[in-house]
Amino acid sequence: MTEKPSYAILRIGKIKSLATLDAVEWHNTRQIPAGTVEGLPPPEDLAEMSGTYRERFARVLAETGATWEQGKILAVEVLVTASPEWWEKAALNEKKEWWKAQLRFANDLFGPGLIAFTPHVDESTPHAQFVGLPLYRDIKRKPGPKPKTAEAIQRRAEEEARSAKIWRLSHDRVFGGSAERLADLQTTYHGYVKHLGLARGRDTVGVGIKHTTLKHYKKLLTQMDRDLAREAAEQQEERQVLDHYDAELREKYNRFHEDRLDLFRQEEEFRIKRDALDARQDELNIRESKLEARVKLFEERERELEESVLALRAEALVEAEARALADQRRIEADRERLEKRDQQAQLREGELATREKAADVKDEALREEGARQMTIAMQLQVVSGFFTGRLSGRWDPRSQRPHVITGELSKDDKEALSQPWPEWLKLTVRRAAQMAAARSAIAGKVRRIVASLRRRRKEARSASIAAENRITQAAAKEASAARLIAMAQENEAAMVEAATAAVSRISNAREELKLAEGARDVALSDEAEAKRSREKVEGEMTLLRDELPALRTERSDIAASVETLRKERETLENEIRHQRSEGKRLEEGRRQLERDQNIHAEATARADRSRQLVEDLFADKVALELDGDALRIDPGPAAPQRDPARIARTDLEPWVMSIADQHRSLLLALGRTEEVEEWLKKTRASLEARYPERAEELRKDQAEETKELDRRLFRQPSGVDGVGM
């Protein structure tokens, strides 16, 4: 038995509108669900262009300069494949060679007009569908009136032959409108794949096979027998009914097709929205984890800064207390030494009687020193007022004195402000505002120094009064001595006798003078000791003045550190508030996301429920009936064991009822069509029995009418001829 040959198959379809071009794209790229085989890879466009078919069409027109007139053919879709038997037995390298041949054929056929080449391996029979613009090169015609003379015609032809070629768009020019051109195209395509063992189908050009139309068929029937006029009229009436049902079914099928497209678009929108929501959820989770990490880092940083501040404050407090304690002990020791020396000076007060002049000088020096110390003490009181906050003001560089702005001034304070200020006190007053941290310790020191100076001033005044008393006593003694001398002069003669006594007294006086000189030496020694004590006090004041810059620097450093820590704390608090606000916003976004997810889940469930119900309806698994605000679901012929159910209309998509109505009308129309077909079969059987010599012709006409009926009932939307498998 001869093996059945495998054929090379080629079909072409015209595309007359951009809407049809979109439909072709949706079918080729599976945006419209097709009868694919599960598990096979989806189609992939191999054309070297990007964008939609519309964009590619516009790009080719722009690049070539061709134009398209509304209503004419804008593109052609070609379907190429082979017999299913060839795909079953072909080797892998033969299949690869077949695909390469299809791509070469597509490029050779359309050239720059090829906008899509899509292999479909996800269907039962692999095939390729490619779309191209019917472009051809033509001479650019010269504008103007046509020449009339032979010379002008020849000259016009030569000029046009030399002119540049342009691209034009024409289906008739590329593919032609005759059967011979289409047969040549089939032969050309066969040349690309004949080496793979594929045969060309039988060429029907010139055979004389013609299609008999329904009108011609009725005319023949009328000519054969006038008796069939009534039956022919009835048949014509039935045909009109069929045409009516055909138009109604086609319209409903188109609506059903549009509803399926809408359903597909809704599913894609739901999927895209769900993916976007999932991506947003992931992004929110990542941002939330980062914010939590930053908050923890800020809290740790804040805790470290607080510990550092506490440590610095503790160290500064310990150092300040240690220095204050050392200063207090040193001043107490100095005070004890001064008290001892003062006691020693009091023991020697009796010996100072003979040092009147030295006492005067010392008293004057002590007065000056006391006045200076008093001025310094009053100025220190002013400085103390700045340290303690009793006074506030600024340093006046013009007068070289402090200028008090606020605070109550005593008489001593006003007098101290009017006196010249030592350099060390000038510096102290300038920096008084920066000595807040060491104010208490220095104020205590100043109070103790002022008390000591006042005590010493009081002691100096007591010593001065005692010296004045001694001077008075010395003057009285001197007057008494003068009186004695006068009496001695008057009684010189009488005193000759007492010369020995006088010499003795002189000797005694000399002894007293020596004693007075000794007392003077002791007083000088005391003065030197007092000078050394004063120098020591001045040294201590110098040490205090030397310590002031360090204390001021330390206070400035501590104040700067505290200010830095305060700013960092404020920054951290602001950041924490911002993070908390961001956390609240993220929480609100999460709640909104959950609400959107719930809405999306409900919409997806409603769409899935509606789609499954429609699929069961068209598979005859269920029958739908409207029951008030609900839809009653009864078992269908394909699933009689299914339990009846009832579902609210709000749980389904609105288009479900429209599709159910269309399905019900479709079933009624199909039933009516079957009745008409049955009647036509009986009529043709009667005609065959009556006219046996026309039986073969009647069967051919019946086959053609059946094909025409199937084509009109189940053809694709208008605008695509012969597209698809």
Please say if the pLDDT value at position 717 is more than 50.
Answer: no
The pLDDT value recorded for residue 519 is: 65
SS3 of 460-520? HHHHHHHHHHHHHHHHHHHHHHHHHHHHHHHCHHHHHCCHHHHHHHHHHHHHHHHHHHHHH
The pLDDT value recorded for residue 460 is: 62
Question: How many independent structural domains does the chain possess?
Answer: 3
Of the listed ranges 397-401, 526-530, 717-721, the least confidently predicted one is: 717-721
Provide the residue type at 146 as one letter: K
Of the listed ranges 226-240, 319-333, 692-706, the least confidently predicted one is: 226-240
* Domain ranges, residue 423: 373-441
How far, in Å, CA of 716 to CA of 262, rounded? 17
Give percent of the chain above pLDDT 90: 11
Query: Of the residues 441, 464, 480, which one is the last residue of a structural domain?
Result: 441
- Evaluate whether residue 53 is within a structural domain: yes
- Evaluate whether residue 725 is within a structural domain: no
SS3 of 256-278? HHHHHHHHHHHHHHHHHHHHHHH
Half-sphere exposure of 511 (CA within 13 A, CB side): 6
Burial of 71 (0-12, 13-18, 19+ CB in 10 A): exposed
CB 607 within 8 A of CB 266: yes
Please say if the pLDDT value at position 500 is more than 80.
Answer: no
The pLDDT value recorded for residue 99 is: 93
Please say if the pLDDT value at position 276 is more than 60.
Answer: yes
The pLDDT value recorded for residue 447 is: 73
Half-sphere exposure of 200 (CA within 13 A, CB side): 16
Would strands 135-139 and 630-635 be described as parallel, antiparallel, or unpaired? unpaired
pLDDT band at 505 (very low <50, low <70, confident <90, very high): low
Residues forming a β-bridge with 396: 401
* The dihedral sign for the CA sequence 443, 448, 453, 455: positive
- The more confident residue out of 511 and 247 is 247
- Evaluate whether residue 213 is within a structural domain: no
CB 295 within 8 A of CB 579: yes
The pLDDT value recorded for residue 436 is: 41
Which whole number is the average pLDDT over 31-36? 67
The pLDDT value recorded for residue 57 is: 92
Query: Of the residues 441, 457, 476, which one is the last residue of a structural domain?
Result: 441
* Neighbour-count burial for 383-395, b at 16+ CB within 10 Å, e otherwise: bbbbbeeebebeb
pTM: 0.33
- The more confident residue out of 39 and 322 is 322
- The more confident residue out of 226 and 623 is 623
State the average pLDDT for the chain. Answer: 76
What CATH number is attached to the domain comprising 50?
A: 3.30.930.30
Please say if the pLDDT value at position 113 is more than 60.
Answer: yes
The CA distances from residue 283 to 272, 581, 583, 590, 655, in Å, are 16, 18, 14, 11, 36
Which tokens sit at 65? 């300069």
- Evaluate whether residue 307 is within a structural domain: no
How far, in Å, CA of 707 to CA of 713, rounded? 10
The pLDDT value recorded for residue 83 is: 92
Provide the residue type at 587 as one letter: E
What pLDDT digit, counting tens, does each position of 433-484 carry? 456 445 556 556 657 766 765 776 677 677 668 766 776 776 676 677 667 6
pLDDT band at 725 (very low <50, low <70, confident <90, very high): very low
- Evaluate whether residue 94 is within a structural domain: yes
The pLDDT value recorded for residue 497 is: 67
Q: Which residues does 652 contact at the CB level (< 8 Å), separation at least 6? A: 606, 609, 610, 613, 631
Residues forming a β-bridge with 624: 633
**Long-range pairs for 236-244: beta carbons < 8 A, 24 or more residues apart:** 238/676, 238/679, 238/680, 239/214, 241/672, 241/676, 242/673, 242/676, 242/709
Which whole number is the average pLDDT over 699-709? 73
Q: Which of 248, 257, 211 is nearest to 712 (CA)?
A: 248
pLDDT band at 588 (very low <50, low <70, confident <90, very high): confident
Please say if the pLDDT value at position 76 is more than 80.
Answer: yes
Please say if the pLDDT value at position 659 is more than 60.
Answer: yes
Provide the residue type at 167 as one letter: W
The pLDDT value recorded for residue 464 is: 63
Please say if the pLDDT value at position 259 is more than 70.
Answer: yes
How far, in Å, CA of 392 to CA of 380, rounded? 14
- Evaluate whether residue 546 is within a structural domain: no
Query: Of the residues 149, 179, 202, which one is the last residue of a structural domain?
Result: 202
- The more confident residue out of 606 and 187 is 187
Of the listed ranges 366-380, 430-444, 525-539, 647-661, the least confidently predicted one is: 430-444
- Evaluate whether residue 493 is within a structural domain: no
- Evaluate whether residue 423 is within a structural domain: yes
Neighbours of 513 (CB within 10 A): 11
Which tokens sit at 487? 């009496």
Residue 113 per-residue DSSP state: G
Max avg pLDDT among 45-54, 57-66, 533-542, 697-706: 57-66
pLDDT band at 217 (very low <50, low <70, confident <90, very high): very low
Max avg pLDDT among 99-108, 157-166, 216-225, 398-407: 99-108
Q: Which residues does 128 contact at the CB level (< 8 Å), separation at least 6? A: 79, 80, 81, 99, 102, 106, 117, 118, 119, 120
CB 673 within 8 A of CB 242: yes
Q: What are phi and psi of 20, to 5 degrees?
A: -65, -35
- The more confident residue out of 561 and 258 is 258
The residue with tokens 């207090």 is: 328
